[in-house]
Each structure stands twice: as structure tokens, then as C-alpha cells.
């Protein structure tokens, strides 16, 4: 039963084959049974989940049909949830119970989703392995000695092990796509501005974007239908007519122009990963897609530009965590400076501190032009590269990550960790929608395929992914230990 997809459950709930309460219980039991091995949840909200499920059952009995009615989901612990601890994976917010719901949470609740709990993550979403969480690392369900990717590692591992049919993630430099790839699931980072950032604790405001993580492209489309939409509380959210992201799923691929950026297939790419991607390209070709090689000549600048812009914004975004109003406060502060330095010193982990320091440095008088301003220029150049590529092709395709999921503790050097996001970061810098979907297995570990689309072209991306998933079964595979 637990193999069923989120969209499958929506159909079964509507057909009254199962009640939301039964379904919620099924997944709560799985969490109880399996999560001790994975550590994918920070908080499980069993009681309120059952209450939400009962309310959903009543609505189902009334014939209501909101998009996620009665379906269990999990929220990444970066989304504020009223009355529930919202830790962002940090000791700093370990005591923080949010007084309000994020827009995404509000919208999913309104769509009838049942929240099972809050998933683990890298502290303040800073990491690519989910090892920086105050609540301990999350384990990859395909091999618990390996990382699930990050920062949305809890959501990815929970969906990968089918402890929940769908979960939210956020993606600043690859934080949905990389863990989706590592855990063998489908995850979408929408166009910047598609999903409201209100109530999503900010890491790097100009890059952060929330999105769905689930087994299939169809699941992601259903979830995005509930999550996306203009929000007057987020000035960067884009006002556009409502869209059904599942509408294009059955669009065939005849004539679709797929571009392979040659820079994504160069040095550093694991040969076996390349083989998986090549095979996926053949599948899409077989369904009528035209394949072209394209170039994103400045993509080598993505990681350096990102590691100026993201830390700069985070150094400012995280200034509010000062021990004054909420969150961690040190014991017996001597004076104001002591309150600040100890509360922040104790509340933040090493990676967060590293990025705050880098960000503070690049914004400082005398360095701003050389770093921050320069990085902004690079960012525009990278967006221009994509703009020219999309003159010739409809979708870009490549690997999500250069390597397979690595072992816990394998990347102690921060720079080698930062390079895990080498293929994902550019889409964030340009604000483009991008997704990862499972496309193969190597040595029992999943491999992710990345698709990058033009602005607001999520429906097309999901369509391509769905067509691929019609022909393949990688998305249906569940690690044996969690079957």
C-alpha cells in the first residue's frame, strides 16, 4: 500500500477506497517504525494530523474536491507552522514555536493536506548533505551510511522511504534537486516568484524558492497547484493567472527541442552518471524529442558568484536571530554584547557562522564592489546565457549532480561540498524553474536527471518528466529496507 503515489492516494480518497484517517495512520506508523533509522523528521505532529484527517474525511463525505484533500504531507522545517516548533534545523530556533503559518502551509492546509510533521534539514538550509542540522544528520534510505543530500534532506529521505507521499522543500542553490536526486525521487524548484516566500525562513532571499518533492512528476504538479500563486504578502511573488500544472502531463514530446549544455558534461562528471543521462536522452529521443548541444559559456562562474551572493544575503537575513525576542538566548548575559555574541555563538553551527562571516566580509566597505557588485554582474551574464540558449531549445537537460550520494562525513572540506551543487546553482541565479527526476541506479544508488525550463515553464518541465516516467520505472522504486 505504501508504494502508492500521492496522486494515486488523491484518486483513492476521492473514490472513498480509504479514509484520510486510515491513510494518516498508515504513514504515522511507518514514520514510527522507520524514521529512527533515517532521522528525517524533526517534529511529528501525530495528534493534529489525525484531527486534520478527520476534518478531511468529513469534507470528503460532503463530496468536496480540494486538490490535496486528505493526503498526508510533510513540511520542511523552514516553513513556519502556527503552534508548532519551526526550528530551521538550528539550535537557534529550537525553542521557537511560530505564531503564524507560512503562505505555503496555509495554502496546502486549505487544499486539504494533512501535515504529518516537520522534516529535518541542513541548518538554515545551508548545506548539501543534511549534516549541518542541529538535530543530527539524515540518512539516505538507499544506504544509511550515505547522505540524503541537502538542504531538504529530511523531505527527500522521507519521501524516498515512503514515510510520506509528498513533502515541501526549498531550493536556494539546489536544495530540492540534489536531495531528490540522491534519494531517488522527483523534485521541482519553480520559477523565482511562483511560490510565496512569506513564512519561509529566509536564507538568501533573491534565490530561495519553495517547491514540491514527491515520487512522480504528476505528484509534484498536484502539489504545486496547491502551493503556487500570487501572494500580496511577498513583494517578489509574481502575479499571473492561476495555472493547472498537471494540464500538460500528457503532451507528447514530438518536436520538443531539448538542449544538452556541454558544460554540464565536462570534467568532474562521474562516467557512470553520464551513462545514465545518455540513456535518459535516448528514451526522450524515442518519444519524439529533438536533441541539440547548447552552451552556457559562463556556467563555471555560477558557484563563485553564488558563494558571494548567498552568504551576503544570509549575513543580513540571519541578523534577526539575536537572542532578544525569540529563539535561543544565552544564560545570564553580562551586557548587550555578551548577549549577542554568546546567543549567536551558541545558537548557530559552524557552516552558518562560516557563511555569515563570508557574507559580512563581501558587503564590507572597500570589498562591496569587488565581490558583491561583481557577483551581481556575473549573475546577469549567467541569466543571459540561459536566455540565448532558450532561443534555440525548449528545455535544458543534464545531470543533477556530478556524483552519487556520498558517505556521511566524506566531505569535510566546505569547498568540495559546495561543488556538489555545480549543476544546480545556475538555475537559482537566473531564477529559472528546474527539476530532478530519478533516471537510473548505479551500485544500488539512484541517479538524478535535471531538466531546466524557461521562466514559468513548469508545466512543460513536468510534462517532459511525466512522459519520461511513462516509459521508465525508476520513480516507482523504493529501497528494499523500507518497502
Residue among 10, 102, 445, 461 that touches another protein (CB under 8 A)? 102
Residue among 73, 138, 269, 312 that touches another protein (CB under 8 A)? 312
Work out how close the CB of 296 gets to another protein at its nearest, in angstroms, rounded to a whole number.
23
Distance CA 156, CA 173 (A): 16
Which cell numbers in the block locate residue 39? 532521522
Backbone angles phi, psi at 281, to 5 degrees: -60, -40
Three-state SS for 441?
Answer: strand
Cα 38-43-47 angle, rounded to 5 deg: 120
Task: Considering the complex, state which of residue 132 and residue 420 has its C-beta at the smaller distance from another protein.
Answer: 132
Task: Considering the complex, state which of residue 321 and residue 406 has its C-beta at the smaller distance from another protein.
Answer: 321
Q: Which stretch binds another protein (CB under 8 A): 145-153, 158-166, 180-188, 317-325?
A: 317-325
Note whether 364 binds another protein by CB under 8 A.
Answer: yes
151 upstream amide cis, omega within 30 of 0: yes
Task: Considering the complex, state which of residue 233 and residue 292 has its C-beta at the smaller distance from another protein.
Answer: 233
Task: Considering the complex, state which of residue 180 and residue 314 has its C-beta at the smaller distance from another protein.
Answer: 314
Q: Are strands 395-399 and 166-171 parallel, antiparallel or unpaired?
A: unpaired
Note whether 232 binds another protein by CB under 8 A.
Answer: yes
Note whether 136 binds another protein by CB under 8 A.
Answer: no
Note whether 233 binds another protein by CB under 8 A.
Answer: yes
Active site residues: 76, 151, 175
Residue among 7, 43, 52, 86 that touches another protein (CB under 8 A)? 86
Residue among 322, 346, 351, 441 that touches another protein (CB under 8 A)? 322
Which cell numbers in the block locate residue 72? 498526508
Closest CA to 110 of 28, 196, 5, 214: 196
Distance CA 222, CA 216 (A): 10
Query: In the chain, what is the straight-line distance between the N-terminal and C-terminal CA atoms, in Å?
Result: 10
Which cell numbers in the block locate residue 310? 548567498
Residue among 320, 377, 380, 387 that touches another protein (CB under 8 A)? 320
For 141, what's the count of Cα atoms within 13 Å in the CB-facing half-sphere? 29
Note whether 325 binds another protein by CB under 8 A.
Answer: yes
Strands annotated E in 190-341: 209-214, 257-261, 290-294
Which cell numbers in the block locate residue 181? 536526486
Note whether 326 binds another protein by CB under 8 A.
Answer: yes
Work out how close the CB of 272 gets to another protein at its nearest, in angstroms, rounded to a whole number.
39
Task: Considering the complex, state which of residue 80 and residue 408 has its C-beta at the smaller distance from another protein.
Answer: 80
Residue among 93, 111, 227, 434 that touches another protein (CB under 8 A)? 93
Cα 407-3-286 angle, rounded to 5 deg: 80
Question: 402 with 273: CB under 8 angstroms?
Answer: yes
Note whether 290 binds another protein by CB under 8 A.
Answer: no
Work out how close the CB of 213 gets to another protein at its nearest, in angstroms, rounded to a whole number.
19
Work out how close the CB of 342 gets to another protein at its nearest, in angstroms, rounded to a whole number.
14
Distance CA 94, CA 372 (A): 32
Site for another protein in 170-199 (CB under 8 A): 197-199
Work out how close the CB of 9 gets to another protein at its nearest, in angstroms, rounded to a whole number.
29
Q: What is the CA radius of gyration of the chain?
A: 21
Chain residues binding another protein by CB under 8 A are 79-80, 86, 88, 93, 96, 98-100, 102, 197-202, 204-206, 232-236, 312-313, 315-316, 318-322, 324-326, 336, 340, 360, 363-365, 368, 372
Amino acid at each position: 500500500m505504501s508504494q502508492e503515489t500521492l496522486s494515486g492516494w488523491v484518486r483513492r480518497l476521492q473514490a472513498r477506497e480509504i479514509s484520510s484517517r486510515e491513510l494518516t495512520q498508515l504513514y504515522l506508523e511507518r514514520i514510527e517504525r522507520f524514521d529512527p533509522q533515517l532521522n528525517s523528521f524533526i517534529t511529528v505532529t501525530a495528534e493534529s494530523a489525525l484531527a486534520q484527517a478527520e476534518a478531511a474525511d468529513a469534507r470528503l463525505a460532503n463530496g468536496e474536491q480540494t486538490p490535496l484533500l486528505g493526503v498526508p504531507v510533510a513540511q520542511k522545517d523552514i516553513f513556519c507552522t502556527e503552534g508548532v516548533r519551526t526550528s530551521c534545523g538550528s539550535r537557534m530556533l529550537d525553542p521557537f514555536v511560530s505564531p503564524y503559518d507560512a503562505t505555503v502551509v496555509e495554502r496546502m492546509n486549505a487544499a486539504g493536506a494533512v501535515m504529518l510533521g516537520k522534516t529535518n534539514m541542513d541548518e538554515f538550509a545551508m548545506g548539501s548533505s543534511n549534516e549541518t542540522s542541529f538535530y543530527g544528520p539524515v540518512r539516505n534510505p538507499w544506504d544509511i551510511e550515505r547522505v540524503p543530500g541537502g538542504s531538504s534532506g529530511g523531505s527527500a529521505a522521507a519521501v524516498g522511504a515512503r514515510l510520506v507521499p509528498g513533502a515541501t522543500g526549498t531550493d536556494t542553490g539546489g536544495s530540492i534537486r540534489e536531495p531528490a536526486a540522491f534519494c531517488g525521487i522527483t523534485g521541482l524548484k519553480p520559477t523565482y516568484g511562483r511560490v510565496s516566500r512569506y513564512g519561509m525562513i529566509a536564507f538568501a532571499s533573491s534565490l530561495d524558492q519553495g517547491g514540491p518533492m514527491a515520487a512522480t512528476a504528476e505528484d509534484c504538479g498536484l502539489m504545486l497547484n496547491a502551493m503556487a500563486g500570487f501572494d500580496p504578502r511577498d513583494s517578489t511573488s509574481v502575479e499571473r493567472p492561476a495555472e493547472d500544472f498537471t494540464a500538460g502531463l500528457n503532451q507528447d514530446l514530438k518536436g520538443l527541442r531539448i538542449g544538452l549544455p556541454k558544460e554540464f558534461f565536462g570534467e568532474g562528471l562521474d562516467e557512470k552518471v553520464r551513462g545514465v543521462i545518455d540513456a535518459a536522452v535516448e528514451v526522450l529521443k524515442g518519444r519524439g524529442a529533438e536533441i541539440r548541444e547548447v552552451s552556457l559559456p559562463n556556467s563555471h562562474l555560477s558557484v563563485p558568484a553564488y558563494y558571494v551572493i548567498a552568504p551576503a544575503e544570509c549575513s543580513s537575513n540571519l541578523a534577526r536571530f539575536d537572542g532578544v525576542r525569540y529563539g535561543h538566548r544565552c544564560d545570564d548575559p553580562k551586557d548587550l554584547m555578551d548577549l549577542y555574541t554568546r546567543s549567536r555563538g551558541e545558537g548557530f553551527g559552524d557552516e552558518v557562522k562560516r557563511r555569515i562571516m563570508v557574507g559580512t566580509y563581501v558587503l564590507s566597505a572597500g570589498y562591496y564592489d569587488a565581490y558583491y557588485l561583481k557577483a551581481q554582474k556575473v549573475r546577469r551574464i549567467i541569466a543571459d546565457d540561459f536566455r540565448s540558449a532558450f532561443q534555440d531549445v525548449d528545455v535544458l537537460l543534464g545531470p543533477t549532480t556530478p556524483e552519487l550520494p556520498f558517505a556521511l562525513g566524506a566531505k569535510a572540506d566546505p569547498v568540495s561540498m559546495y561543488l556538489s551543487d555545480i549543476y544546480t546553482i545556475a538555475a537559482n541565479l537566473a531564477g529559472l524553474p528546474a527539476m530532478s527526476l530519478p533516471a537510473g541506479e548505479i551500485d544500488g544508488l539512484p541517479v538524478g536527471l535535471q531538466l531546466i525550463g524557461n521562466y514559468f515553464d513548469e508545466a512543460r518541465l513536468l510534462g517532459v518528466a511525466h512522459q519520461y516516467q511513462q516509459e521508465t520505472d525508476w520513480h516507482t522504486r523504493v529501497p528494499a529496507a523500507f518497502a
